[in-house]
Every structure is written in structure tokens, then in C-alpha cells.
Amino acid sequence: MTKFVVTSAKALSEQKRREIITKLGAAASDVSFLVDEALIGGLIISDGDKILDASVKGKLTAAAKKATGAIANKPLEHILTSLREEFSHAQSADKVKAGVVRSVSDGVVFIEGLAEAKVGELILIGEESFALVMNLEREEVGAILLTGLQTVRAGDSARLTGRIVTVPVGEALLGRVVGPLGDPIDGGGRIETQNFRRAESPAPKILDRAKVSEPLCTGVKTVDAIVPIGKGQRELIIGDRQTGKTSVALDAIINQKGTGVLCVYVAIGQKNTTVSDVVKKLRETGAMEYTIVVSATASDSATLQYVAPYTATAMAEELMYAGKDVLIVYDDLSKHAVAYRTISLLLKRPAGREAYPGDVFYIHSRLLERSAKLSEKLGGGSLTALPIIETLGSDISAYIPTNVISITDGQIFLESELFRAGVRPAVNVGLSVSRVGGNAQPKAIRQVVKGLKLDLARYREMAVFTEFGADVDEDTKAVLDRGAKLTELLIQTQGAPYSMSEEVAEIYAATGETLSRIPKGGVRKALDKVLDRIKSERPEVLMEIETSGELSDENKAKLDAVMQEVIL
Ligand code: ATP
Ligand code: MG
């Protein structure tokens, strides 16, 4: 057997061959010569373990790689590139552990002969398809296909890679729409980034975290007033279909303009058109500049819908660890749970309640645990999460809703009845809470919202009783009257978030004495007028609230005066 293989572009002369043999210090019988025109020029010398590539082709490839940086165009291409290099250095394919695909269905593959596979490891199937190990069984390995859904067939070879899923991350992704593995899908060309991050990584430890203490204003009056959100918090948005869940989350993103907060929106299992509407809205409002959209639509496989939120979180985490404040929206985790259920059933895992596998709680907790406010030592960045859950018939005690409610720090409950009645955003004040955001609420808002939640909750309760035209006493009438007006106060169209000072001014105006003089039904109009007047005639009031974070007595008086003028 020959020890060295020398490949050249053209056949070498006898003299040249002798020179090489002497340089290698080998016997003539130990060296074999091959010709490969594809090399263009130069030589490749291999001794089985090592390769010396001095060919023109090799140099060109290396130069091209340097010029383009890491490639992040196709899903997992960066991993494929490094694997190809590694495998080409291995003497022969049989040095790398190989198995065989036994069966494929709906993105789930079973592979034999990979006894050393680890859960979460990537398997290379054929030349360029990747699967992620989910199940380890006695005879075979169950894995989900991330790429090559159409091409992988039973009988294909499969190799362990020793790698886990990593995705491109970094500021280069801002403004882009990417697929579930970070590949660009917006036609905007390649994403130039050298940074990659594991899709799944451990959540920050307790000691690495700081208290949630800074507000993250959503620009949605009801939310900022009644269920305030702090940076690093996880607040669930829950409600039936078509109740304005996505709109609340989008308003929160739009409202981050100019605040330095970066955003990630991940769409899971939605229609393509819905996602493109979201992107369009973000573009129109200028919010796309600081936002990454990760999209795994209903037409993507369940496996890709399953990984999308993890990769989106990796992208958000990278920014958080760089000291930035980040807001991530998961739209929505109900469809994520359904995708996971599909995969689990195909993997033949035992089904539990509502046919979900037993660990469905864990897939969401390990996702949402990654949100945090980091300590100063770690740069003080934060990741605030707004997961969305869709309910059926407002049933928040179903399996997935209760799971996610127990993982998050509060919920914004949107109700279809309110939505239909024109109370939009349709927040059910009684059932919505924020468990940690109260401390983070700006002082100026805290000054004006005292009693607001209680008044509204009492109003909704009483309104139910009086629906049947029961006679009511004067006290109840007063509660009803005030409640109806406060409800009008909180009505807001989507796509038009309020600044903090506007919220303060409007809520202050609407909770004062003058309110009783406005007839029911005319409150919204009157308040719009008040706000317009303040903006045009007293902009300094808004400026002061914004900079000092408080509502001074002097400014209160000025607001009262405007209110008087408008009402008279
Ligand atoms: P789905 O369950 O389909 O995801 P969703 O709960 O996310 O729906 P949205 O898509 O946000 O709801 O909104 C549903 C519809 O209600 C949209 O047409 C939207 O324009 C409208 N809408 C949402 N919020 C408001 C609002 N504050 N004022 C008026 N219309 C609104
Ligand atoms: Mg939606």
C-alpha cells in the first residue's frame, strides 16, 4: 500500500516525480501519483491523516472564503462548510461513524447505526441535509429534519457531526426577515456576520440577574396604566382569535422607536400573508430598522416551527449580552405547542393531556427562562418577552394556557366580547395582572392611575348585573357612569402608541372632576381635543413630564386649565 498520494493538475515529468519522492523522504513504492484537472495548477499531497493543499483551486477557495466572511445564506450553511473541511481531512468516509436512514415521514427520521448520538446533536444526512436528534432508543435514533425535507430518503447515509444547532446572530440581522434557522428570506441579500450562537443555551443564573426596575413602555394606555411591564419581565398576551393580540405586541415594538430598545418578532405557524402584513406595518412605521423578524409560517414543517422561537431567542440573547435592552414577541406559543405535539406523535412518544407530550411545559419554560434583566457585571442588558397564547372560547384554564400563565410574570387577557363591543384594546382588567412591573412603572403614571384598575373592575362587574335593566341606586349609577367614561378613556386604535407623557396627560385629564361634565359617549372625542390642545399650545408640559418623570402641581394646574377650556 502506498503511504503518500500526490495529486496534480497535469501529469508530472519523471524528474519532478523523483524530486518529490526525495523531498518526502519516502521509497518510490510508497508514493502514488494522480491527475485531477480540476486543481487548475499546483499539488495536493496527502499521507492519509494530513493534507497539504498547494493547488490553485485550494488557494482560490480559501481566498473566496476570506472575502465573503462567514456565509449565512442558506440554513445551517456555516456548519456545512466547516464539516466539509473536517470530513475531507478524514482519510476516508468510514473513519466517520455512519448510520442509515430507516424511515422518513413528515420531517421525522429514524436512523440506525448511530449508537453514540446525543440528544440535541446534529446529524448530517447524505451530503447536505441536517437532522436534530430528539429520541435515543435501543435500536435507533429519532431525529427531526431541519433541512432537506424533500430530498432525504430511506437508505441515505447519516453521520454524527458532534455539533449542535447554531444560528447567525448580531446587529447585522436588524432590519431583516429570516427563516427559522437565520437564513435571509426577504430578498435582501446575504447577511454578513461572523457571529453564531447556539439556538438553545442555559438561562442566566439567579446571581447573574438584577431586579426588574426600569419600565418598558408599550404605548398602549391600558397596558402601561394597569399592567405595566418592566425590562426583563415576561408578560403573556392571551385571548381568543382576532382579539387584537398581535396588535398590542406590534404597538409595543413600534413604541420602542428612539428608545434604544431592539426588538425580535418571531412568527410561528401563521399564514404567510399575516406575516408579510406584520413586516409591512413595521416597515411603514420605521420600526423594522431596529427589529429582526423570524418567520416559520404554517407552510413550514412542524420541525422548523418548533425550532424557530429558540433561534429567535438566541438572536435576542446575543444583543442582551452585548448590553442592549431587547424585546421579543413570540406569536404564538399555542401553535408552537401544536408543532411540538405533531413532532412528538411522529416520534412515537407517549401522549399525555390533550395529546400533548408530558414535557410540553418544559419546552416553554426553558424558552421563557432565558428572558432576564442582567446584573451590572454582565453589562446590564435585558430581554423582555411578550409570548402570545390563543385560547378557545376564552378558556384560560386549558392545558397550554395554564402552563404558560404559570411560567410568565403576568398576563394581558384580551376578551372577544369586549372587542366586539368596541372596547379596543379589549383588555379584561379584572383578569389581567403584572406581577413584577409595578415597581418599574414611571412615577408620573403611578401618580395618575390610583384607583383606576379598581374602578374599572367594579364597573365591569356591576355592568353585568344591570344589563337586564334592573333599577339601580344613585351610588351604583355613579360607579357605572364613571366606569363607562374610564372605558372610553382607554380606547385606542392600533398602530398609534402614546408617549409616556401623553398617557399621563390624558389619564390625568380623564380622572379629574371635570370629567363628570362630559356626557357619556363624548369622552373619547373630548380627550382627543384636550391632547391636541396640549400638544399645540402647551408642549412644555409634555416635555417636562418626559424629562422629570413626574407630574408637578404646576403642570397639573395647566392640564386642568386646558380641560376647562375644551369642555366649556
Ligand atoms: P389572530 O388570532 O388572527 O392572530 P389577533 O388576536 O392577533 O388575531 P389582530 O390581528 O391583532 O388580532 O387584530 C385583529 C383585527 O382587529 C385586525 O383587523 C386589527 O386591525 C383589529 N384591531 C386590533 N386592535 C385594534 C384596535 N385597538 N382598534 C381597532 N381595531 C383593532
Ligand atoms: Mg395574531
Q: What's the 3-state SS for 314-360? A: HHHHHHHHCCCEEEEEEECHHHHHHHHHHHHHHCCCCECHHHCECCH
Q: Which amino acid is at 186?
A: D
Residue 149 to residues 78, 146, 217, 292, 302, Cα–Cα distance (Å): 19, 7, 42, 25, 11
**Residue 187 is assigned to a structural domain of this protein:** no
- pTM comes to 0.86
The predicted pLDDT at position 47 comes to: 78
**Residue 142 is assigned to a structural domain of this protein:** no
Last residue of a domain, one of 384, 418, 441: 441
460 included as an active-site residue: no
**Residue 147 is assigned to a structural domain of this protein:** no
- Measured by CA distance, the residue closest to atom 22 of ligand 1 is 244
The Cα–Cα gap between 552 and 462 comes to 35
Asked if residue 169 lies in contact with residue 162, where contact means CB atoms within 8 angstroms, the answer is: no
**Residue 503 is assigned to a structural domain of this protein:** yes
The predicted pLDDT at position 70 comes to: 41
Does 436 lie in the same domain as 457?
A: no
**Residue 279 is assigned to a structural domain of this protein:** no
**Residue 272 is assigned to a structural domain of this protein:** no
497 touches ligand 1 (CB under 6 Å): no
- Measured by CA distance, the residue closest to atom 19 of ligand 1 is 244
**Residue 137 is assigned to a structural domain of this protein:** no
Residue 216 to residues 197, 231, 289, Cα–Cα distance (Å): 26, 5, 19
Task: Write the Ramachandran bin of 106: left for phi over 0, alpha for psi from -120 to 50, otherwise beta.
Answer: left
Asked if residue 32 lies in contact with residue 45, where contact means CB atoms within 8 angstroms, the answer is: no
**Catalytic hit among 209, 435, 524, 533:** 435
Residue 186 to residues 180, 268, 410, 535, Cα–Cα distance (Å): 13, 17, 34, 38
Last residue of a domain, one of 441, 465, 492: 441
Asked if residue 283 lies in contact with residue 257, where contact means CB atoms within 8 angstroms, the answer is: no
425 touches ligand 1 (CB under 6 Å): yes
Does 527 lie in the same domain as 394?
A: no
Last residue of a domain, one of 419, 441, 463: 441
CA of 241 from ligand 1 middle (Å) equals 9
Cβ-proximal residues to 361 (8 Å cutoff; 6+ apart), any chain: 403, 407
pLDDT digits (tens, 9 = 90+) for 380-437: 999 999 999 999 999 999 999 999 999 999 999 999 999 999 999 999 999 999 999 8
Does 453 lie in the same domain as 399?
A: no
* Mutate which of 220, 241, 247, 413 for ligand 1 pocket (most atoms within 8 A of beta carbon): 247
The predicted pLDDT at position 1 comes to: 56
Does 330 lie in the same domain as 253?
A: yes
Please give the backbone phi and psi of residue 245, each rounded to the nearest 5 degrees, phi first.
-65, -50
The predicted pLDDT at position 198 comes to: 96
Neighbours of 516 (CB within 10 A): 11
All 3 cell numbers of residue 126? 447524505
Residue 544 belongs to domain with CATH number: 1.20.150.20
Q: Where are the beta strands (DSSP E) in 47-179?
A: 51-55, 98-105, 108-112, 122-125, 129-136, 140-145, 157-160, 166-168, 177-178
The Cα–Cα gap between 237 and 124 comes to 38
The predicted pLDDT at position 26 comes to: 82
The predicted pLDDT at position 69 comes to: 42
Does 458 lie in the same domain as 434?
A: no
SS3 127: coil
CA of 496 from ligand 1 middle (Å) equals 13
**For helices 399-407 and 360-368, angle between their N-to-C axes, nearest 10 degrees:** 30
Query: How many domains would you assign to the chain?
Result: 3
All 3 cell numbers of residue 480? 357605572
CA of 276 from ligand 1 middle (Å) equals 15
Percent of the chain at pLDDT > 90 equals: 73
Among the listed residues 418, 175, 433, 387, the one whose alpha carbon sits nearest the alpha carbon of residue 293: 175
Per-residue pLDDT of the chain (568 residues; tens, 9 = 90+): 557 888 888 888 888 888 888 888 888 888 888 888 877 888 888 876 677 778 887 777 666 555 444 444 789 989 998 888 887 766 555 555 689 999 999 999 999 999 999 999 999 999 999 999 999 999 999 999 999 999 999 999 999 999 999 999 999 999 999 999 999 999 888 998 889 999 999 999 999 999 999 999 999 999 999 999 999 999 999 999 999 999 999 999 999 999 999 999 999 999 999 999 999 999 999 999 999 999 999 999 999 999 999 999 999 999 999 999 999 999 999 999 999 999 999 999 999 999 999 999 999 999 999 999 999 999 999 999 999 999 999 999 999 999 999 999 999 999 999 999 999 999 999 999 999 988 899 999 999 998 899 999 899 888 887 777 667 788 888 889 999 999 999 999 999 999 999 999 999 998 888 888 888 889 999 999 999 999 999 999 999 999 999 999 999 999 999 988 888 7
Does 354 lie in the same domain as 387?
A: yes
Does 330 lie in the same domain as 222?
A: yes
240 touches ligand 1 (CB under 6 Å): no
Residue 48 to residues 2, 17, 51, 58, 81, Cα–Cα distance (Å): 10, 19, 8, 18, 21
The predicted pLDDT at position 2 comes to: 58
Cα torsion at 409, 328, 372, 317 (round to 10°)?
Answer: 160
Per the structure, the complete domain to which residue 522 belongs is given by 448-566
pLDDT digits (tens, 9 = 90+) for 312-326: 999 999 999 999 999
CA of 300 from ligand 2 middle (Å) equals 17
**Residue 246 is assigned to a structural domain of this protein:** yes
The Cα–Cα gap between 150 and 518 comes to 65
Does 250 lie in the same domain as 357?
A: yes
The predicted pLDDT at position 55 comes to: 80
The predicted pLDDT at position 63 comes to: 64
Helices (H), 69-108: 77-89
The predicted pLDDT at position 68 comes to: 45
Please name which ligand lies nearest the alpha carbon of 250.
1
273 touches ligand 1 (CB under 6 Å): no
Residue 395 belongs to domain with CATH number: 3.40.50.300
The predicted pLDDT at position 64 comes to: 58
Does 374 lie in the same domain as 339?
A: yes
Does 460 lie in the same domain as 395?
A: no
Cβ-proximal residues to 258 (8 Å cutoff; 6+ apart), any chain: none
Does 395 lie in the same domain as 507?
A: no
The predicted pLDDT at position 91 comes to: 53
- Measured by CA distance, the residue closest to atom 25 of ligand 1 is 494
Q: Which amino acid is at 371?
A: S
CA of 298 from ligand 1 middle (Å) equals 19
What residues pair up with 178 in beta bridges, in sequence order? 184, 294
Does 459 lie in the same domain as 435?
A: no
Radius of gyration of the chain (CA): 30
